[in-house]
Structure 1
Amino acid sequence: MMENKTLNVVLLGFAFMLIFTAFQTCTMVEKTVLEGTGVDGYVSLAILYAVFAASNWAAPSIISVTGPKYAMVFGGVVYCIFIGLFLKPSTYSIYGGSAVLGIAAAVLWTAQGSYLTINSDSETISRNSGIFWALLQCSLLFGNLYAYFKFHGEIHIDDSSRNTLFTVLLVTCCVGLLLLLLLRNRRGIDNEDLLSINATRPVPNRPMQALKRSLELLRTREMLFLSVCFAYTGLELTFFSGVYGTSVGHTLQFGESAKQLLGLSGVFIGIGEILGGATFGLFGKRTNRYGRDPIVMFGCVIHMICFFLIYINLPGESPLQDTQALSVITPPNLYLAIVCSFLLGLGDSSFNTQIYSILGMMFPEDSAPAFALFKFVQSLSAAAAFFYSSELLLEFQLLILVIFDFFGTICFFVVEWRVVATQQSGYHVVSGDI
């Protein structure tokens, strides 16, 4: 019979899979489906991530009052409302909804990190991160497969197609919300976890204590180094979740299938994410035998190769508008575009599974503030990326990604080597040690 804590992680993964089947499909097609409505999808997402970044400072304080379960339920409700706004979009509703969702997203993701840590120990944190990540990234498959078949042969996405798509997504999101209600609170968990094993002081249980601890963690050398890696994950999150699919859809050299490729691109990003999550998480004892840094290096190299292939395959104007312009490869190769989608997902899973693992290991008694800082930096860089995505040509966006990919990987190595050295010296890896 499945252990209680493992069951919690699996249920958490399925809930997020359904909620983000709706939301990630929404973000990947938002720029395209809102064309002609007066709403700019990039601006909407930039507002969302900017508010998300600021709200991460308040998220630990909220969770200290509500607990992680009900914080996630609150977040899930707002996600459902946001998806519903696309049934009759307007400038005020979409932009306003994006701002409110930014607050809810900060609470949801910080609570998720805390809940995952509560249900893990030092032996299972990598495995549980992988289980959660693989289930979460299944969200990229189902919604995008539906979008792929729904937009078959369509040059322009009309109101009827949009409303049908978002009705299905809304129902899916609501089912995910119901699963969150089935999660068990901490009181029902009877086994030891990272929190109880490694804690050296009481967990902050008052709002001001949680905020103070977030500020303390931000000033640590290790969190500052990790922030460079966090920033890279935000930049590439923007790229694969909003920019790349839009660029493929805008490349008219692909013919009538260009809009349909929006969904197919998302599917293969999801396949890459799931494969990475399974390999680096479910088999964590094997893949982590030599530390987390080889996995992050693998993700770095995969993304470098991917960015080069995208540069030679898609025209520079493709993130901004429909274009008949030619790329280095003439004409652009449809199959190469899909391979790049897969590589984007595979590299992203390499970074994120190891970030979850190292944060859970380093900051067990400060899981909410630590994950809040991760999401703060990630979402701040994502917001910046969505703002510049509406102005910069593809080659300049790729250059920014390459620079942050390199330095983010180096900074992760510095912290990982410190963690390994601390473990070998015989000390517990806790917030006060590093």
Structure 2
Amino acid sequence: MLTNDGWTVHYELLIGMYNALTGMGGAGQADTTAADNSATALAVTFTICSLVGAPLFNIFGHRVLIPAAGLTYVLYVGAFLSPSSAFTIVAGAILGVGAGCLWTAQGAIMVSYPNESEKGRAFSIFWAVFNLGATVGAAVALGNEWNGGEASHVQQSTYYAFIVIMTVGACIGATLLPASKVIRNDGSQVSLHKYSNWKREAVEVLKLFTDWRMLIMIPLMISSNWFYTYQQQGFNGGGFFNIRARALNNLLYWGMQIIGAGAFGWMLDLTALGNRRRRAYIGNTVVLIVLGALWIGAIFIQKRFTRESVNVTLHPDFVKMDVLSPGFGPLALEYALFGMADSIYQGFVYWLLGTMTNDTERSARYVGFYKTIQNAGNAIASQIDAQRTEFMIELIIVFVLNMVGLLLAYVVCYTVPDVTVEEIDNLQDGGKEVIVGGHVETVENGEKREHSSNIEKVESEL
């Protein structure tokens, strides 16, 4: 991978803790509507600030961006301890600002730092550590909630534990090396850029909306977080399971994320499967089959309950499913496999973006565009849920969106090169350079001087 501290970032645990908490569908002292509206506010500001996050990353670097953005997660978790719905919604909006910056920085690091032959494994390592945080957080929650019985809210001690751990995680981000000091294991430097400026970033961000590959991937991107709302607020948090069962489901969900990411990332880098284009086709097909099978299975499960049938006011004799209830196992397995499916879906999108560039600045913009579209979809999904739409309808919507996005992704797979060749500018010493598979090809007097030995070396690694 990399030397000099590597590309792996330490704030993955912070985001993982947040995911573990929200994955149970628990809203603390805030009511469900406030939680939905807070999630919508989060998604809206996340959408806007993902595009802004790329310029901020390219101008200020991640040492400033990551700690400041990480603390917004702490504020958001703290807001769930407040009975004020307004504060919960405002905290969600603030978190969206921080999350846009944090995830753009994370994506730029993950996509551009590794060698081309290791980008699948790079995602695997990040996603495993990230979801280790979620898994630990879910285990903490499960321990606290095991004796919760029919309790409808997460205990306050769970939130306090998360706040402490997440604060530490945010501060650790300041220890990361700047990109200019990180060297890949083949001796190539990750970044030769000088700091960018607002004018340059504005122009480059606008160009993303004219890139046909970005546009055709919009359905793939917009549905990549859409399913969280159904999975977490409908399937797991919709009232069918009691708090203990939800906590166990949550633990299994995040644990399977680690397994899915590890296997899928390794597969995407496996040269025995063929060149990068062929691996793109294979990866796309695997995700399509897995998601399709799980959504079909979810349809049969969803027939067992509706919003009305689990409403204890309307049906006071309704008993929520517990971990010891008959039939819990298959439902828990389905939810665990949702976690695995999420990891391979996200891994495929990041890997596909990684085949388009090895440049840190471009990676930040591509990821910023991805997170913008992704969270626009999340905002829509949250509002659909806030309108108390039936769970089955939510399920069918996300099923269709996922399938359309994955089918269109085959067009982008066709463009995947064996070696990425690109020209970059804004260098520390001025001028331009041609980058072949992450290796610099010298440019003199405006003419490219190719070094076939370097190109052959890159191709041999792939």
- List aligned pairs for 1:13-412, cutoff 5 A: 14-16=10-12, 18-34=13-29, 37=31, 40-152=34-146, 153-157=148-152, 162-191=155-184, 205-247=196-238, 250-251=239-240, 258-282=242-266, 284-286=268-270, 289=274, 290-314=278-302, 315-318=304-307, 322=311, 333-365=327-359, 366-390=362-386, 391-412=388-409
- State the distance in 1 between where 2:33 and 2:301 align: 29
CA RMSD across the alignment: 3.1
Amino acid at match of 2:135: L
Q: What's the secondary structure of 1:364's corresponding residue?
A: coil
Distance 2:59 2:342 in 1: 33
Q: Which amino acid aligns with 1:317?
A: T
Aligned-residue offset at 1:61: 2.0
SS of equivalent residue, structure 1 residue 123:
helix
Is the 1:30–1:41 Cα contact (8 Å) retained in structure 2? no
Aligned amino acid, residue 211 of structure 1? A
Counterpart CA distance in 2 for 1:320 and 1:429 is 57
Structure 2, unpaired ranges of 5+ = 320-324, 425-433, 436-462
Distance 1:215-1:316 versus aligned 2 partners, 3 A rule? farther
* Alpha-carbon offset, residue 45 of structure 1: 0.8
The answer to whether the Cα contact below 8 Å between 1:272 and 1:345 also exists between their aligned partners in 2 is yes
Is the deviation greater in 290-299 or in 75-84? Answer: 290-299
Deviations 1:239-262 (A, max 9, x none): 334433203xx11xx6xxx22111
Displacement of 1:178 in angstroms is: 2.9
Match of 2:6 in 1: 8
Q: 1:273 to 1:194 in 2, by over 3 A?
A: farther
> Who is 2:411 aligned against?
414
Aligned pair in 2 of structure 1 residues 187, 319: CA closer, same or farther (>3 Å)?
farther
Question: Deviations for 1:271-315, whole angstroms, at most 9, x for unmatched residues?
Answer: 221111111224543276441232232222222222222222234
1:33 counterpart SS class = coil
Provide TM-score, normalisation by structure 1: 0.85
> Aligned AA for 1:397?
E
Q: From the CA coordinates, give the structure whose radius of gyration is larger.
A: 2
The one-letter code of the counterpart of 1:23 is: Y
The 1-side partners of 2:114 and 2:308 are apart by 41
Q: How far off its partner does 1:128 sit?
A: 0.8
TM-score of the two chains, using structure 2 as the length reference: 0.80
Alignment-mate amino acid for residue 305 of structure 1? A
1:299/1:348 contact within 8 Å kept: no
| Percent identity between the two aligned chains | 17
| Deviations 1:79-117 (CA, angstroms, capped at 9, x unpaired) | 122222223341121111100110110000111111223
Q: Is the 8 A contact 1:61 1:208 kept in 2?
A: no
User: Number of residue pairs matched?
Assistant: 409
Structure 1: how far apart are the matches of 2:55 and 2:308? Answer: 38
